[in-house]
Amino acid sequence: MEQLTSSLTPRTPSKSPVAGSSQQSSGSVAKRLGNELMTLMMSASPGISAFPKNDGNLFEWVGTIEGAPGTVYAGLTFRISISFPPNYPYVAPAIKFDTPCFHPNVDINSGGICLDILQDKWSAVYSVQTILLSLQSLLGEPNNASPLNTDAAAIWNNQEAFKTQLMRHYRPL
């Protein structure tokens, strides 16, 4: 039932009248996203940030992640896009890298990310902030056991060669 409602609901909280329950739910989703935005803005975690793309649509965000100092990604900044489903937070948001990111768990072409908490390990207690923090730590500590980018996984242990490959693909903002 949940699935069915979600597929009927427009992805954006549109102004057109929709069925009572879904309207209510999209309203409460928007409220939750508003709160998350507020929390994110007010708690200054260094190197992570996100903001809605457009006014009026709280479901599409743009995020920014800076590589943590001490890792090969230090000093680099990556842009990501976050798309919240209408039944958020029961379903994880869809996240992908917009800046090409050479990383064992990131698809270099599509920007897709292989991270457990974004798939089967997702829980409603996570928030934008926890996702961003997880992504930031994922950059420094990849899960080489299940790579999306096998080339990257292969040369991870040779950090210098990895850095060269990384910089070849990297585009500054």
User: Tokens in use for 93?
Assistant: 């948001």
Stretch that binds other proteins, among 3-11, 60-68, 122-130, 131-139 (CB under 8 A): 60-68
Q: Among 5, 52, 71, 112, which residue interacts with other proteins (rule: CB under 8 A)?
A: 52
Question: 40, 65, 114, 153: which is the annotated catalytic residue?
Answer: 114
Least distance from other proteins to the Cβ atom of residue 99, Å: 12
Residue 49 in contact with other proteins, rule: CB under 8 A: yes
- Burial of 46 (C-beta count, 10 Å sphere; 0-12/13-18/19+): exposed
Residue 58 in contact with other proteins, rule: CB under 8 A: yes
- Burial of 92 (C-beta count, 10 Å sphere; 0-12/13-18/19+): buried
Closest CA to 45 of 131, 137, 118, 129: 129
114 is catalytic: yes
Residue 125 in contact with other proteins, rule: CB under 8 A: no
Residue 134 in contact with other proteins, rule: CB under 8 A: no
Q: Which residues contact 96 (CB under 8 A, 6 or more apart)?
A: 80, 81, 110, 111, 112, 113
Residues that bind other proteins (CB under 8 A): 34, 37-38, 40-42, 44, 49-53, 55-56, 58, 61-64, 79, 173
| Residue numbers annotated as active site | 114
